[in-house]
Structure 1
Amino acid sequence: MKSVEHSEYLPDTEAGRSLFRERLIAKIQQHRDFKALPHEIQSNFFEKLAELTLFGTNNCSVETHSPRTRKLEKLADSYRRVANSIALLSEIDELLLDDAFQHSMPLQQQKKLMRQLAAQVDELIGGMRQTSTSTSERLLLGLKGASLLNQLGKLGVACKINNDFQTITKDAAEQRDASKQTQRFMPDLSQSMTLAMLCTMLVLFNSGQVVEWSYCRRLLLEGKWVSR
């Protein structure tokens, strides 16, 4: 079994946070959207990023985004990813897969089902948030996200979050579940993420706040919604 210490999941210790920041900055520097920025912006990008502030208080507690809601959001994202992956298949590959594996349900029907399930989970999440408290929290989060996106935009960072996702291997999940009572972990940086997502992580990290993948993503989603 692959140990956490040798995986992309770093323990939230002084050494782990130092290594996480180092990897996060390297990931930003290697990102194609960062490399496309003008040289004059790249030269002092991280200094400018360190100066960014979020709307209102800096206490962006992840607790406003409950574990139950986060799990449901990840489930909905997983359904959408499967549907989108099926949609990318060529007609020939789709026919070959349907024939080779003798699916009880053709891929096109599976794609439709995945999208229906994602919509149902989204509806459930929406219902959970239909309280005055959650509405206020969502508005505050949206204002924070919109402010952050506006500042990132001035640095040339586009608000793209469509390819942000996280895959947790079985081994890593078991390790995290076994240790979650005593040890928190920094986000996994091995996955494909947009420059906006990576920068959001660094801004929160620099501010000494909780850096959690699903919270960072929701911050951008709500900010984008408010900015419409």
Structure 2
Amino acid sequence: TCEGMSAVPALSMIGAARDYVSRMVTDVAGMKVLIMDAETTGIVSIVYTKTQILQHEVFLIDSINRKFTDKMPHLKAIYFIRPTQENVRLLQAEFKEPKYGEYHIFFSNLTRENLLSHLAEADEHEVVQQVQEYYCDFLAINQELFSLNVPSIVGLASDQALLDRLTHGVLSVLLALKKRPMIRYQANSESASHIAKSVYATMVDEGELFSFRRADPPPLLLI
């Protein structure tokens, strides 16, 4: 998990996102390649220009879905990706024949234990230097507004994958802003009820992560 992130102003969506990205590219010293998926590429591009990233010894910006690349053992690979089964599968395939000298994995949200286990088992060449959770699973539109890039919520109640994405996105925002809110939701909405209860259950299960200094009154999350 991520600790010690520099303080950002209250409700500073852009500040929180920029801080995470900055730490990724500066804490890994030396020449490196930044590898992302489609969603994290969008997340980063809103808060950092390509030119700004390249100024931090980033030799190349690439996609996790690109299949054919030359071996570059002199470079360190920074992966900033969502913690999905597909992304872990792609990492497992990469670790069979590593192209880079080191791998630094940053997941954009809470990551299930079984995915971490699969990743550890695949690292037969012991090239992975670190695996961390950096809670930046949202698009920072401005200081007070974020988007989860969901085009439509029609049929939301029956779409478990979409419900999970919204839940995970909300949790990411709360962790990035270091907030443990009270939750209120529309009782006659099955979708709102599901998201609210899932967010609350995760805050309880991950109590250590959400042990922020209590505000009085606490922030209110309306769903």
TM bracket (short chain): under 0.3
Higher relative contact order (CA 8 A, sep 6+): 1
Larger proportion of strand = 2
Asked which structure has the greater CA Rg, the reply is: 1
- The structure in which a higher percent of residues are helix is 1
